[in-house]
Amino acid sequence: MSSNKGKDVAEGSSRAVAMAPDQQNPPPLSRYESQKRRDWNTFGQYLRNQRPPVALSQCNANHVLEFLRYLDQFGKTKVHLQGCVFFGQPEPPGPCTCPLKQAWGSLDALIGRLRAAYEENGGLPETNPFASGAIRVYLREVRDSQAKARGIPYKKKKKKRNPMKANDESSSFHMQ
C-alpha cells in the first residue's frame, strides 16, 4: 500500500509540472511598451523627489512642464542661442558654448508615451496633465525655436490619404 501512495504523489506532482507550461510568462514587452514603462517610472520618481513630494493625483501641467525643463540638462542636441554666431546655421563650422537640450522630437514622443501611460494607470482622459493645452503650446515653442536655431524650418508632414478609402468612395455605387 505504501508503494501506491508514493506513486500517487509522484503522479500528482508530474501532473502539476505538466500544467505549469500553461502559466507561462507573458511575452516580452515591445520596445515602445518598455520605453513607456521606463518613462512612467522616471516621471513618478521625479514627482516623489519634489520637495514636498507630489502625489500623482495632484500632478498638473505645471509639474509636467517642470519635468520637461528638468530633462533638458540631459539633452544631446545643440541649440544655438540668438546671440551665437552660428544661430540659424544648419551645419556650424566650429564649436560654441550654446547649451545642449532635449530635441523637440524626443520630447514630443515622451509626452505621447506618458499621455498613454497615465490613462493605462487609471488616470481619466479629462484630467490627463500630459494632454493639456499648455503642454502642446510648450512643445510647439520648443519645435519652432529649435528649427530657427538650426536654420531649418519645420515642415509638418502631410498625412497620406488612404488610397483604399478613395477607391472605395469612387467605386461604390448607390442603389436607387
Does residue 171 lie within any of the structural domains? no
Question: pLDDT band for position 162 (50/70/90)?
Answer: low
Task: Output 113 or 151, whichever has higher pLDDT.
Answer: 113
Q: Has residue 24 got a pLDDT over 80?
A: no
Pairing between β-strand 100-101 and β-strand 77-78 as defined by DSSP bridges: antiparallel
pLDDT tens digits, 107-149: 999 999 999 999 999 999 999 999 999 999 999 999 999 999 8
Residue 115's contacts (CB-CB under 8 Å, 6 or more residues apart) are 128, 130, 131
In angstroms, the CA 106 to CA 92 distance is: 22
Q: Supply 94's cell numbers.
A: 566650429
Q: Has residue 19 got a pLDDT over 60?
A: no
Asked if residue 61 lies in contact with residue 134, where contact means CB atoms within 8 angstroms, the answer is yes
Q: Has residue 15 got a pLDDT over 90?
A: no
Question: What mean pLDDT comes out for the span 2-28?
Answer: 54
3-state DSSP of 21-38: HHHCCCCCCCHHHHHHHH
Does residue 124 lie within any of the structural domains? yes
Q: State how many domains the chain has.
A: 1
Domain that includes residue 124, residue range: 30-154
Does residue 176 lie within any of the structural domains? no
Helix 61-71 × helix 133-150 angle, to 10°: 30
- Per-residue pLDDT at 119: 96
Does residue 107 lie within any of the structural domains? yes
Does residue 130 lie within any of the structural domains? yes
In angstroms, the CA 113 to CA 34 distance is: 10
- Per-residue pLDDT at 146: 93
> For residue 36, what are the β-bridge partners?
none
Does residue 167 lie within any of the structural domains? no
Question: pLDDT band for position 90 (50/70/90)?
Answer: confident
Does residue 17 lie within any of the structural domains? no
Does residue 136 lie within any of the structural domains? yes
Other Cβ atoms less than 10 A from the Cβ of 53: the count is: 9
pTM: 0.72
